[in-house]
A and B are shown apart, each in its own frame.
Chain A
């Protein structure tokens, strides 16, 4: 069964203080690793998909990287508007349909 563990659970940053979020996963074979951003009371917003080790994707202040065991979401010079919960999810080769398995998320608070 696919498993995803995210760390830390919560992260408090000063504006401009770069940091990284970790997503460790266990799958028999990876069909895709996904990052989402979720604001309180809202639906998850798609950020990135990564398919193979070594792959990197960037969007504004966010950069996602992937290895065979984990993914990192780097936040460079964050702003208060980057405050949200960041969710990591995987789709393994044995997952039924297009099912995604999510981690518990990392709550990020960026203070001005």
Chain B
């Protein structure tokens, strides 16, 4: 158990709908990351927040948005869903400072199926 908690574990939704994925980082970690994993793309970095502020952005679609709240939990919002958005979405966290803060720990993921 990495200490990173993600909900829900599984969800099935229809095209055009909107879903929210939730993540609680490890205790003490200030950085939260979102990654997408699909069979043909591997693990793709979406976005990073550090202590509530956006720190880095990857290949995140405009239909997707995220935020990190004052209690450090994070949410990833996916809207106007398409079949191709079906994937495993991982949240990860790290301390975010110095070498000790460089290690990123992953949650168990949220399986999203768009039908």
The answer on a CB contact under 8 Å between A98 and B104 is yes
Q: Does A29 contact B (CB under 8 A)?
A: no
Q: A43-B90, A103-B42 are in contact. Are A97 and B103 (CB under 8 A)?
A: no
* Complex Cα spacing A97 to B111, Å: 26
Kindly list chain A residues whose C-beta atoms are within 8 Å of the C-beta of B111: 41
Count how many chain A residues have C-beta atoms less than 8 Å from C-beta atoms of the other chain.
26
Kindly list chain A residues whose C-beta atoms are within 8 Å of the C-beta of B85: none
| Chain B interface size range | 20 to 34
The answer on a CB contact under 8 Å between B105 and A51 is no
Q: Mark B55-97, 1 if CB is under 8 A from A, else 0.
A: 1111000000000000000000000000000001010101010
Picked from B33, B88, B106, the residue with its CB within 8 Å of the CB of A98 is: B33
Q: Does B25 contact A (CB under 8 A)?
A: no
The answer on a CB contact under 8 Å between A99 and B56 is yes
Q: A32-B102, A51-B99 are in contact. Are A98 and B107 (CB under 8 A)?
A: no
The answer on a CB contact under 8 Å between B109 and A96 is no
CB distance from B13 to the nearest CB of A (A): 19
Can you name the residue of chain B whose Cβ is closest to the Cβ of A87? B43
Q: A51-B99, A104-B42 are in contact. Are A45 and B2 (CB under 8 A)?
A: yes
Q: Mark B5-18, 1 if CB is under 8 A from A, else 0.
A: 00000000000000
| 19 pairs, A vs B, C-beta closer than 8 Å | A32-B102, A41-B109, A41-B111, A42-B108, A43-B90, A43-B106, A45-B2, A46-B104, A46-B105, A89-B43, A95-B56, A96-B57, A98-B55, A98-B104, A99-B48, A99-B56, A101-B45, A102-B42, A102-B43
Mark B residues whose CB is within 8 Å of A.
2, 4, 31, 33, 42-43, 45, 48, 50, 55-58, 88, 90, 92, 94, 96, 99, 101-109, 111
